[in-house]
Chains A and B, each alone.
Chain A
């Protein structure tokens, strides 16, 4: 099979004098293994590849994709993208990215040992994880799933405007979901470990988390409704940061859909909050050398001690705003065009560990997990209302478990009411880092 960059370059080279062409070529090998009760439940391993072509003609943009990298499919996509462009509205800011002189960070995102690892070792890991969860506590009734999965991908972007970029990356994940029970009651908990090769994976820690999270909720009751300080588990904070990154998109700002619009220079959060999106942080699972338009990724400081410094931009959003691209173009797959998004967003850690934060809060709610984020958080209005389960905080330590409750506020208010950012930063699957976070005065609804 030809190299992905050669394919992309050849396709972009077909651009006529009156147009710009961008070709994105991706090839992925994905392995997923699920074990159940000591047996392999399913094993799937397959390669897939595809191509996405963007054409800019007369200030109009068209896009087409194909689930194949064979030449006829690629040429058809180019023709379709040209035709599709003729139906778009003329946009003075339309145009493909151009190299901006910044070189890519050298990131070791690919490890040969992951690519060479036989499925036997991967199955053994998932089986080991399942055994550890089962043995972790007598109250573990079932390990609903114990999964290993990895993704090895290579992608390339070439444009007729001079962009030429390619990269390879590999990630692997170990994940278990446990049921703990006592009498008629059942609680659930999950644990995972992520990395770039099997040596990074810590089955013991993943199992401990799954067991601890499920068992400590046994006996949970519905609390009475009241306002109280809330401490987020690092996983919950990562979810929150993913939400906050949305309205920091320069595209959403330009379209008037952001609660941060027109607020650069203002104190949008309290002084504890410094927020950075840095895809060149190798520890981040979302680390990348290039963005989805082939521009070198870079460190972007968005909020500094509560003050909003700026937004994230891809090439188009930057042109609209008269700013420089922050190399923040992302794409879900070859089937979609780039959009603005964060890859590695993190809060600057504070001085206190999780126990010290609980001690400082004294009395409140520790949120272990949240649900209904898609239905209950509106990043335009800022309304925030999510289902939650966790433990009450009493006398500065975790106390009785609670469930079937919601916590609510607005994103704007939550950012102003942060009382502590933990020192326990860890990179999690997805595009954000987790850290313990304490927020004052949220509404808890129960009975």
Chain B
């Protein structure tokens, strides 16, 4: 177990900084303190190219006055440094009238260190390097077609502390570990790539859940499977998506549109639709920051609010949006624990944590067997959505044709495009299986780790962006 760390900044000083932030006025002030250290190893072209490590600490301070937020950050955690940042952040609130305010903090959700068995910083660097050497060996042993392997390992420990003028004082200690492998396979028809990763909010015990060998084999298999791939179809076809193949479908199709910042600015197709049917009755969608050690899990969010399990769509009916502190205040409700930020240098905003569709009752094999002609997607890449129109794309990085209810030929990479509300209404089968996968979500220039999950499911029609006749 990790040692309970000393607070990054003492609570008396945080109280003085919060009071200083509100000296010129303002309705709300918050100090976010962060200490982050990380290690990364990159292996490429049969070489350990580089082992890098780094350390960062600092604080971001925001002051909200009416509709305006002032923000400043500093890497100087001394009283002088923090008060200077408080003054800069508070400057925007000046016109709001003044008055010194006293702030008294009461520890509310000080999370214990995460449930980490083996803190990566206690593992020798040589062992981290050895993981990647093994990944390279295993991937290359899968066949002569594998002509290049690159692999990366990274771990980070991020301690945070949040204090606000509401008296909130909370903290979290997040350890995340990740390993990824990319293989290049070469054949008569050119080169193909295969990617696979394992990533959890865990320490080195992560590799007990999934071995390096499994990850490397999967990446190699994926690259080789596409060597004989033919161009994907062009046009609308039924699509069966394998469980845990990315889940990015729901992240893009509706997740972003359910973020309250988009909703409050009318830039979401889901604005004003609470209580309405927005998806097939088979769809129950959950965002859960407490989902075990998944990649988007945490004890408290980056605004100090406890992570929660929030049901967003219940049997097809829209039940709630996701909220951060600022948007929740506007709407006169509580944050849903979805306030996140990339680092102390960034303002928090509404973000997903682990977003997934709950399993249904169909046998996954029956779903494929019941599809005369379509596409089976075994692995998804990233995606992108326009929340205002609901149009979204997601990439398939391993896919096959379905012919006469059977999975047949492999297909080359292509994007699929759909419209969120439309695709959600076209889900006609949901499997009893389930799988999660890790990802990185980008919004407004900030990246945060997220989890995505779903059972095997079928969409009756999606546009497949290939080049061959459908």
- Chain A positions within 8 Å of B, measured between CB atoms, are 36-37, 39-50, 61-68, 73, 76-77, 80, 83-85, 87-89, 91, 141-142, 144, 179, 186-188, 222, 225, 254-257, 259, 335-337, 371-372, 374-376, 378, 380-383, 385-387, 389, 403-409, 443-447
Q: Is B125's beta carbon under 8 Å from chain A?
A: yes
B470 close to A225 (CB less than 8 A): yes
A49 close to B75 (CB less than 8 A): yes
| Chain A residues within 8 Å of B45, by CB | 254-255
B466 close to A381 (CB less than 8 A): no
Closest to B129 in A: A87
| Chain A residues within 8 Å of B389, by CB | 186-188, 403
Given contacts A44-B72, A66-B55, A372-B395, 20 further A-B contacts (CB under 8 A): A40-B68, A42-B70, A42-B347, A44-B347, A46-B74, A49-B75, A65-B52, A65-B54, A67-B56, A255-B150, A257-B184, A259-B190, A374-B384, A375-B384, A380-B193, A385-B415, A386-B465, A387-B392, A447-B235, A447-B236
| Chain B residues within 8 Å of A409, by CB | 467
| Chain A residues within 8 Å of B74, by CB | 46-47
| Chain B residues within 8 Å of A257, by CB | 148, 184, 191
A87 close to B51 (CB less than 8 A): yes
CA distance A403 to B56 in the complex (A): 44
Closest CB of chain A to B125's CB: distance in Å?
Answer: 5
Given contacts A187-B389, A381-B191, contact A42 B49 (CB under 8 A): no
| Chain B residues within 8 Å of A335, by CB | 54
| Chain A residues within 8 Å of B384, by CB | 371-372, 374-375, 387
Q: From the candidates A66, A85, A89, A187, name the one contacting B56 in the complex (CB within 8 A).
A: A66
Closest to B64 in A: A42
Given contacts A43-B68, A374-B382, A378-B193, contact A61 B415 (CB under 8 A): no
B265 close to A142 (CB less than 8 A): yes
Given contacts A62-B51, A63-B50, contact A375 B465 (CB under 8 A): no
B394 close to A375 (CB less than 8 A): yes
| Chain A residues within 8 Å of B266, by CB | 141-142, 179
Given contacts A179-B388, A372-B395, contact A84 B125 (CB under 8 A): yes
Given contacts A144-B265, A381-B193, A404-B463, contact A36 B67 (CB under 8 A): yes
B413 close to A87 (CB less than 8 A): no
| Chain B residues within 8 Å of A65, by CB | 52-55
Closest CB of chain B to A221's CB: distance in Å?
Answer: 12
Q: Is B57's beta carbon under 8 Å from chain A?
A: yes
Closest to A410 in B: B467
How many cross-chain pairs have Cβ atoms below 8 Å apart between A and B? 254
A375 close to B382 (CB less than 8 A): yes
B388 close to A385 (CB less than 8 A): no
A445 close to B463 (CB less than 8 A): yes
* Beta-carbon contacts under 8 Å, B208-242 to A: 226, 232, 234-236
CA distance A130 to B361 in the complex (A): 50
* Interface pairs (12), CB distance under 8 Å: A40-B67, A61-B49, A67-B57, A88-B47, A144-B388, A186-B389, A256-B147, A374-B382, A387-B391, A387-B417, A406-B416, A445-B234
Closest to B92 in A: A43
Closest CB of chain B to A402's CB: distance in Å?
Answer: 12
| Chain A residues within 8 Å of B55, by CB | 65-67, 73, 76
Q: Is B267's beta carbon under 8 Å from chain A?
A: yes
Closest CB of chain A to B195's CB: distance in Å?
Answer: 10
B52 close to A337 (CB less than 8 A): yes
Chain B contact patch, size range: 35 or more
* Beta-carbon contacts under 8 Å, B157-197 to A: 184, 186, 190-193
A45 close to B463 (CB less than 8 A): no
Closest CB of chain A to B87's CB: distance in Å?
Answer: 12
B265 close to A385 (CB less than 8 A): no
| Chain B residues within 8 Å of A254, by CB | 45
| Chain A residues within 8 Å of B72, by CB | 44-46
Q: From the candidates B49, B71, B190, name the one contacting A381 in the complex (CB within 8 A).
A: B190
A387 close to B465 (CB less than 8 A): yes
A447 close to B463 (CB less than 8 A): yes
B466 close to A408 (CB less than 8 A): yes
CA distance A47 to B196 in the complex (A): 37
A385 close to B466 (CB less than 8 A): yes
Residue among A73, A254, A380, A447 having the largest count of chain B Cβ atoms under 10 Å? A380
Given contacts A372-B383, A372-B415, A403-B391, contact A443 B67 (CB under 8 A): no
A408 close to B391 (CB less than 8 A): no
Q: Is B29's beta carbon under 8 Å from chain A?
A: no
- Could you give, for residues 387-422 of chain B, a 1 whenever the CB lies within 8 Å of some chain A CB and a 0 otherwise? 011011111010000000000000011111111000
CA distance A222 to B45 in the complex (A): 44
B49 close to A88 (CB less than 8 A): yes
* Beta-carbon contacts under 8 Å, B49-105 to A: 49-58, 66-75, 85, 88, 92
B234 close to A43 (CB less than 8 A): no
| Chain B residues within 8 Å of A256, by CB | 147-148, 184, 186, 191
CA distance A67 to B36 in the complex (A): 10
Q: From the candidates B92, B347, B393, name the one contacting A406 in the complex (CB within 8 A).
A: B393
A91 close to B47 (CB less than 8 A): yes
A406 close to B412 (CB less than 8 A): no
| Chain B residues within 8 Å of A403, by CB | 389, 391
| Chain A residues within 8 Å of B70, by CB | 42-44
| Chain A residues within 8 Å of B345, by CB | 46, 48
CA distance A241 to B74 in the complex (A): 37
Closest to B68 in A: A40
Q: Is B48's beta carbon under 8 Å from chain A?
A: yes
| Chain A residues within 8 Å of B466, by CB | 385, 408, 443, 445
A389 close to B125 (CB less than 8 A): no
Closest to B266 in A: A142
| Chain B residues within 8 Å of A50, by CB | 56
Given contacts A39-B68, A63-B52, contact A372 B125 (CB under 8 A): no
- Could you give, for residues 29-45 of chain B, a 1 whenever the CB lies within 8 Å of some chain A CB and a 0 otherwise? 00000000000010011
B465 close to A406 (CB less than 8 A): yes
Closest to B61 in A: A46
Given contacts A337-B52, A406-B393, contact A443 B71 (CB under 8 A): no
| Chain B residues within 8 Å of A41, by CB | 67-69
Q: Is B1's beta carbon under 8 Å from chain A?
A: no
- Could you give, for residues 304-347 of chain B, a 1 whenever the CB lies within 8 Å of some chain A CB and a 0 otherwise? 00000000000000000000000000000000000000000101
| Chain B residues within 8 Å of A46, by CB | 71-74, 85, 88, 345
Closest to B34 in A: A67
